[in-house]
Amino acid sequence: MDNLSGLNGKTSMVPLEVLLMTKVGGGPASEGTSAAVSLLDWYDLEQEVLLVMERPFPCNIMKQLVDAALTTHTKDVFHGDIKAENLLLETGSSDPQMRVIDFGCDCLVQEEPYFIFSGTSAYAPPELLTCGRYEAAPTTVWQLGTLLYKMLDAEQYFSTSEFLCGRIHFHKDLSQACQKVLEQCLAMNPNQRATLEQLQQHRARVNP
Residues taking part in catalysis: 81
Quick check: 88 and 101 in contact, CB under 8 A? yes
**One-letter amino acid identity for 34?**
S
How far apart CA 17 and CA 108 sit, in angstroms, is: 11
Quick check: 35 and 100 in contact, CB under 8 A? yes
DSSP symbols for 71-89: HHHHTTEE----SGGGEEE
